[in-house]
Amino acid sequence: MNTVYVLQHVHEQQSGNEDIKFIGVYSSKARARVAIKRLSSAPGFRDCREGFHIEAYEVDKDHWTEGFVGGTP
């Protein structure tokens, strides 16, 4: 099983909307943590360090299979 680690930052805005930043894809959880350390002092991130999230994903596998509802074709 090949796994990659996706790093994102989620910040809830005053309007109630979420501002989601896709940071990157890393070959290990440790490398994703190094990226968090590196970015934690950057503008915006330093004020919301709890917004970082690492998720593991298996490569060559569908991760969303339910389809979707809404929007226009």
pLDDT of 65 > 80? The answer is yes
| Residues spanned by the domain of 22 | 3-58
Amino acid making up residue 18: E
Residue with tokens 């790093």: 7
Residue 25 inside a domain? The answer is yes
* Within a domain: 65: no
Average pLDDT over residues 13-42: 94
13 lies in a domain? yes
Q: Could you tell me if residue 49 is left (phi over 0), alpha (psi between -120 and 50 degrees) or otherwise beta?
A: alpha
Q: Give the end-to-end CA distance of the chain in Å, rounded to a whole number.
A: 35
Q: Is residue 67 part of a domain?
A: no
**Mean of all residue pLDDT scores within the chain:** 92
Residue 70 confidence class, pLDDT cut points 50, 70, 90? confident
Is 41 part of a structural domain of the chain? yes
pLDDT at 71 (0 to 100): 64
Give domain status of residue 31, yes or no.
Answer: yes
Count: domains in the chain: 1
Give me the pLDDT at residue 27, please. Answer: 97
- DSSP SS3 for 51: helix
| CA–CA gap between residue 43 and residue 71 (Å, rounded) | 34
Tell me what pLDDT residue 4 has.
Answer: 98
pTM of the model: 0.82
Considering the domain boundaries, does residue 66 fall inside one? no
Residue 32 lies in a domain: yes
